[in-house]
Amino acid sequence: MRTTILDTVTGECKHVAAEWDGDVFWWTEGNGSCDCNRAIAMGHEDVTNAVGDQEVCLGHARFLVIDVCGDLEGHDKADVITQANAGYPADMVTRHLG
């Protein structure tokens, strides 16, 4: 599955590079379901998840999946997008996705 991610802070949209192709689970429930790996996929290596010497999750506050294509494993496109953004604030999702 290929994704397009929106940075809700800068307004930048990016079709994620092929090396970030993943299955539906990875983007909806796995490591791609929060801002940690979405920031890296967007090329924002400056966004860090290090606090002191510990790694912490960045949570769900900035990077939304706004489009998907490719192998959706039989799932409906709208449902995949909804599930990929399930942890994000509802008002933010509504504001950016309608």
Distance CA 73, CA 87 (A): 21
Map out the domains of the chain as residue ranges.
2-93
Q: Could you read off the pLDDT tens digit of each residue along the chain, which spans 98 residues?
A: 999 999 999 999 999 977 777 899 999 999 899 998 899 889 887 776 555 555 668 889 999 999 999 999 999 999 999 999 999 999 999 999 98
DSSP characters over 27-51: HHTSGGGSHHHHHHHTT-TTS--EE
Distance CA 57, CA 11 (A): 22
Quick check: pTM over 0.85? yes
